[in-house]
Structure 1
Amino acid sequence: VHTFTSHCAIVSQTRTLGSAGLCSILRVYNFDEFILSNNDVVLRSIAEDLRNCLPIEAMLNSEHLAIQKILEQPEPTVHVDAFLYDDDIIDSLCEKGKMSRNYCVVCGSHKTAPLEFISHSFSLMELKFLYQYALPDLTGKILVDVGSRLGAVLFGGYLYSSASQLYGVEMNADFCQLQEMIITKYQFTDRVKVLHSDICTQASLLQNADVVVMNNVFEYFLNRLEQARAWEFISHNMRKKGSLLVTVPSLEESISNLQTDILLSQWVEEMKLDYDVYMEKDIDREALEEIHLYKIL
């Protein structure tokens, strides 16, 4: 709210001060910071819209395999979507008794332990790191988000990058509808498109992509044979020299337990990321270190 008010004040004053007055104001108020700050506001508004459309765990009944795999984790685990719920919102929900960070080790006692949280979306912090620090200038480039889910990577790319086209590929029709709702409401239609599709039918899209993003995309949603098939398909079709692949977790971790013929050393080179460049106060170093960037050889 403050930044929008500041913008109104700038517009009002320029009517009487002219160009010299505007330059003086902009020296006091960094206009780049103003734009970035308002992009944060837009993303938080999108997150609020989506929270109002989803149950608190941000999972749908149609996600049978994902729900089953979360229940099978060795430690009690809950899905908390990082794009929808930052730490402040989680704290507020915990205070209201709508969410908990802990579980009871012995039912009925006060002996508790921290719950494991898993997210299938990037947080606002991770999106800003990805677009402002990890990736190069995307002017004129095509970005593909595999398993776009709620669209966080697409919306972040629209606001924080100059990518010419941002494609989301999502198998769940309900999530596609939610993304379309946001794309229409916030007028992202000129650069964002969502495909209700299996990535294994999108060879041409992968072949033309300059950047492909894959965040926890297969492990919780496909069985092992399907995961291997999907990785094989991607490695065969993502061959444009110099194009970039962003993954969470690392490629090594994703395919180490799968039966594939992928030779990573012949397909990609990992690019070292400087996680210390992100200087904002809300940094979660551990989360940033899960992001890996590769260049296609």
Structure 2
Amino acid sequence: MDLCEAKLELKQLLSRVKSGDLSRLLQWVRESDDLDELLSDNRRKILQNISEDLRGSLPQSAMLPSESTALSKMQQSSNPTVHVDSFLYDEDEVDSLCDEGSLSRSYCLSCGSTRTAPLDFLSHSFSIPELHFLFESVLPDLSGRVLVDVGSRLGAVLYGGYVFSSASRLVGLEISEEFVKLQENIVQKYTMTDRIQVLHSDVRLQNVLLQNADVLVLNNVFEYFLPLEEQIGAWSFIMENFRKKGSLLVTVPCLQESLDTLQMPLPPRWVEELPLDYDVYLGKDTDPDALRQIHLYRVL
């Protein structure tokens, strides 16, 4: 049964439900855990296993002492911000950490007071539902194509691309040697070496790779990790070298927001934004607001 046939059959089924029960049935579909088994996916289980392995190798913050620039910028934020990596911790796991006192969702506005305000949570990785959305709803079939993830960090995009897509080559660029080793250990353990490669390199040294890439992923990649002048240089390098017609660019946040922060103009006739359908159900742990932060562009 294809999608059109399934839609027709579902409409016919709903038309036979008593009018008084229809709204309750639809509410059950939206909120019940009973349907989660239908959405169970072995590919997700592989990613969950990888996530568990990585949690055992990292501090709870998933931030390393060497990331002094990122830590400093988070501390300087107008609202207190903590890093909670979405690939490592889903909402249920965050709730568990809060319940046991390892993490808090709020901070005190005045020491010793009951006045509190919510903390801002920041993630430098896609969650598993976001990876599912990226490779099955955002990007087309990647058979024979090369995907490059700039600032691959834990490698979430690479692992997601391996299990959810047929990309022929998935390349991670990471300037932290510690994170490169972490990714290489996972790639070896899960026998993903046939399609995944992690390079210990700055993107600004990879002009040939960018010129040949079919998909480029930039997820919160420069703002927290590079001084302002270097961010401008990195974006300029990308705009000069990622030029192959029809190539796809995935960004979080949108290009305009990133460039406006740097007071950089978007080059004319470089890319066009493509519309995305964010109204997809990928399980109860999907955050619709997080999906809407993902933007897709095509090089002109």
- Structure 2 length as normaliser, TM-score? 0.85
Rate the CA distance shift 1:277–1:35 in 2: closer, same or farther, 3 A: closer
Cα displacement string for residues 223-250 of structure 1 (whole angstroms, at most 9, x for unaligned residues): 1110111111111111110000000011
**Which residue of the partner structure matches residue 26 of structure 1?**
none
AA partner of residue 275 (structure 2): K
Q: 5+ residue gaps in structure 1?
A: 1-32
Write out the 4+ residue segments of structure 1 that deviate beyond 3 Å after TM superposition: 33-36, 259-262
- Superposed displacement of residue 282, structure 1: 2.2
2:102 aligned with 1:98, yes or no?
yes
| C-alpha contact 1:212 1:244 (8 A) present in aligned 2 | yes
Report the CA distance between 1:279 and its aligned residue: 4.6
Rounded Cα–Cα distance in structure 2 between residues aligned with 1:269 and 1:192: 28
**What is the rounded CA distance, in whole Å, between the counterparts of 2:226 and 2:66 in structure 1?**
13
**CA contact under 8 A between 2:259 and 2:265: conserved in structure 1?**
no
- 1:54 and 2:58 equivalent? yes
Conservation of the 8 A alpha-carbon contact between 2:147 and 2:167: yes
Q: CA deviation at 1:148?
A: 0.2
Unmatched tracts of structure 2, length 5 or more: 1-36
Equivalent in 207, 210, 226 of residue 211 of structure 2: 207
Structure 1 position 35, deviation (Å): 10
What does residue 237 of structure 1 align with?
241
Deviations 1:107-142 (CA, angstroms, capped at 9, x unpaired): 222222111000000011110100010000001110
Residues 177-209 of structure 1: per-residue CA shift (max 9 Å, x gap)? 000010000000000000000000001110110
Task: Specify whether residues 295 and 278 from structure 1 end up closer, same or farther in structure 2 by C-alpha distance, changes over 3 A only.
Answer: farther
CA contact (8 A) 1:138 1:163 kept: yes
Is structure 2 residue 272 aligned with structure 1 residue 269?
A: yes
Say if 1:275 and 1:226 are closer, same or farther in 2 by CA, change over 3 A: same
TM-aligned CA deviation for residue 95 of structure 1: 1.1
Specify the alignment match of 2:77 in structure 1.
73
Q: Does 1:278 align with 2:281?
A: yes
Identity of aligned residues (%): 59
2:155 matched residue in structure 1: 151
CA RMSD of aligned residues (A): 1.5
Question: Which residue of 71, 86, 108 maps to 2:90?
Answer: 86
CA contact (8 A) 2:273 2:297 kept: yes
What does residue range 1-297 of structure 1 map to in structure 2 within 5 Å?
37-258=41-262, 260=264, 262-263=266-267, 265-297=268-300
Q: Distance in 2 between matches of 1:114 and 1:183?
A: 37
- The answer to whether the 8 A contact 1:232-1:262 is kept is no
Tell me if structure 1 keeps the 8 A contact 2:69–2:224: yes
Rounded Cα–Cα distance in structure 2 between residues aligned with 1:161 and 1:150: 18
| Aligned twin of 1:22 | none
